[in-house]
Amino acid sequence: MAAQRFDVVVVGTGPGGYVAAIRCAQLGLSVAAIEDDRPGGVCLNWGCIPTKALLRNAEIVGLFQRAEEFGVTVGKWTADYAQAVQRSRRVADRMAKGVEFLFRKNKITLVPGTGTLKARNVVEVKGKDGAQTLEAKAIILATGSEPRSLPGVTIDEKQVISSNGAVRIEATPASLIVIGAGAVGMEFADVYGAYGVPVTVLEALPRVLPIEDEEVSALLARVFSRRGMTIRTGVRVQKVSPGKAGLTVEIEAEGKAERLEAEQVLMAVGRASRTKGLGLEALGVASERGLVTVGPTMETSVKGIFAVGDMTGRQMLAHKAMAEGVVAAEAIAGRSPRPVDYDNVPSCTYCRPQVASIGLSEAKARTNGREIAVGRFPFTANGKAVALGETEGFLKVVADKRTGEILGVHIVGSEATEMIHEFAVGRTLEATLEEIIHTIHAHPTLSEAALEATLAALGQAIHI
């Protein structure tokens, strides 16, 4: 069979791949997209979106548990976790169909199967109906990442599960140990905790959400502990093996060996790029520690081959992948896109309370040798938060004392992930503290905390 020809072939249709494909099509290029699962990748099918549905369930369960506080008497009520998972699957299905619709709308050819590079302009696709060959002027690789495990621990998705298993399994375990207190670990701990599962979170580093600001980590650990979860940091996991309750996790904490028991273990120690079998080595596509090396236009070391998203490393975030997809598409179409600003990517965790940040943590800002100003505002002093009954958390602004440059913003609290964008826009436009304080914030809103924390950085906070 003769090779089908396209301007661009995109391998993988996660957020990096599908956005790149659509942008290419918008710019008048003919596009084929190869997918071995469903369109939308991990994000839509097994990651961001289904977990947000589960977390919404956790939030509703949490409100039922607090009904008394609002003077609502609820009779006998139950929360069926299987139905939460089923709802989450329906949400994911709907979003994946949305990508299929966008592909049709933009006349993108979806090719089911697994893609392998055969030359710098040829991709072979092995699908159910055999192999076919696609030729392209440019290729965008967007094969993403997969959950990593610890050495010697096999993820069987039954007892030792990853996020892939957690979004599928409709039963809750009798007890759960979460290994890794990053965004994935904390979000699932929150979900299972809300459904009454005794949860222990183990983290090797000294604090939960180690990439976030220290104050954020401390507050989140406090809230989770108060909710009855066990949070243990600075813990090394030595071994996971079959045990009485299901599994035994052998750990070393403060120099002492311990054994913990649980029915299930959720492995949330990070993700590794998925590049095996793609044919990168044969073409000489440069990579470093499994991550494909790219230039500012997302082009790899091989001309005409681009790579975006998790497989290129840096932050493994869907929104970063989308931004990279746009850059790659525009570069291929002969435009000169602005490179992705990796210092201005918001980081979000959707547990309760939510966590969102952008830029430098206070500690990092201090090590840069600048004189900084820090402003904090607790949601206990925010009218809307008090009315909502969501007073946990704070908003913190870290700025350069001399210029008022916004170096970093850290939010922990209800809807933190929506509020961060005020500062993302501000940083893109190089706004300083002064522009934020001269922006009138609607009252009453949670976003007023942004104004107040900024005022606090200037020593002028009104409401505290």
Q: Supply the residues annotated as catalytic.
A: 443
SS (H, E, C) 152-191: CCCCCCCCEECHHHHCCCCCCCCCEEEECCCHHHHHHHHH
DSSP labels for 78-91?
---HHHHHHHHHHH
Residues pairing with 267 in the sheet: 179
Helix 48-65 / helix 81-105 crossing angle, nearest 10 deg: 140
Cβ 407 to another protein shortest distance, Å? 10
Residue 27 backbone phi and psi in degrees, to 5: -90, 10
**Which of positions 337-366 make contact with another protein (CB under 8 A)?**
337-338
Residue 118 found at the interface with another protein (CB under 8 A): no
441 in Cβ contact with 384 (< 8 Å): no
Residue 8 found at the interface with another protein (CB under 8 A): no
- Residue whose CB is less far from another protein, 156 or 430: 430
- Residue whose CB is less far from another protein, 194 or 292: 292
- Residue whose CB is less far from another protein, 135 or 405: 405
Cβ 401 to another protein shortest distance, Å? 5
Residue among 7, 65, 2, 31 nearest 352 (CA): 65
CA distances from 313 to 119, 270, 290 (A): 24, 12, 9
Residue 300 found at the interface with another protein (CB under 8 A): yes
Q: Phi/psi zone of residue 270: left (φ > 0), alpha (ψ -120 to 50 degrees), beta?
A: left
Among 198, 435, 439, 464, binds another protein (CB under 8 A): 435
CA 318 distance to own-chain centroid: 6
Answer whether the bond into residue 112 is a cis peptide, omega within 30°.
no
CA distance 144 to 160: 22
Among 299, 362, 422, 452, binds another protein (CB under 8 A): 299
Cβ 306 to another protein shortest distance, Å? 9
Residue 331 found at the interface with another protein (CB under 8 A): yes
- Residue whose CB is less far from another protein, 259 or 364: 364
Q: Strand 394-400 relative to strand 372-378: parallel, antiparallel, unpaired?
A: antiparallel
Total residues at the site for another protein (CB under 8 A)? 30
Q: Site map for another protein, 445-464, x if CB under 8 A?
A: -------------xx-----
Among 296, 342, 363, 425, binds another protein (CB under 8 A): 296
Answer whether the bond into residue 39 is a cis peptide, omega within 30°.
no
CA distance 309 to 345: 13
- Residue whose CB is less far from another protein, 161 or 365: 365
Token pair, residue 286, equals 């440069």
Cβ 339 to another protein shortest distance, Å? 10
- Residue whose CB is less far from another protein, 202 or 332: 332
CA distance 162 to 185: 10
Cβ 336 to another protein shortest distance, Å? 6
Q: Site map for another protein, 369-408, x if CB under 8 A?
A: xx--x--------------------------xxxxxx---
Q: Strand 247-253 relative to strand 256-262: parallel, antiparallel, unpaired?
A: antiparallel
Among 114, 132, 297, 315, binds another protein (CB under 8 A): 297
Residue 110 backbone phi and psi in degrees, to 5: -90, 120
Q: Site map for another protein, 229-268, x if CB under 8 A?
A: ----------------------------------------
- Residue whose CB is less far from another protein, 26 or 164: 26
Among 86, 434, 443, 463, binds another protein (CB under 8 A): 434
Q: Could you tell me the maximum CA-CA distance found in the chain, to the nearest angstrom?
A: 73
Residue 7 found at the interface with another protein (CB under 8 A): no
Cβ 365 to another protein shortest distance, Å? 11
- Residue whose CB is less far from another protein, 23 or 352: 23
Cβ 85 to another protein shortest distance, Å? 44
Among 69, 226, 367, 429, binds another protein (CB under 8 A): 429
Cβ 203 to another protein shortest distance, Å? 32
| Exposure on the CB side of residue 401, measured as CA atoms within 13 A | 11
- Residue whose CB is less far from another protein, 130 or 369: 369
DSSP labels for 246-299?
SEEEEEEETTEEEEEEESEEEE-S-EEE--TTS-HHHHT--EETTEEP--TTSB
Residue 295 found at the interface with another protein (CB under 8 A): yes
Residue 329 found at the interface with another protein (CB under 8 A): no
Residues that bind another protein (CB under 8 A): 295-297, 299-301, 303, 331, 334-338, 369-370, 373, 400-405, 429-432, 434-435, 458-459
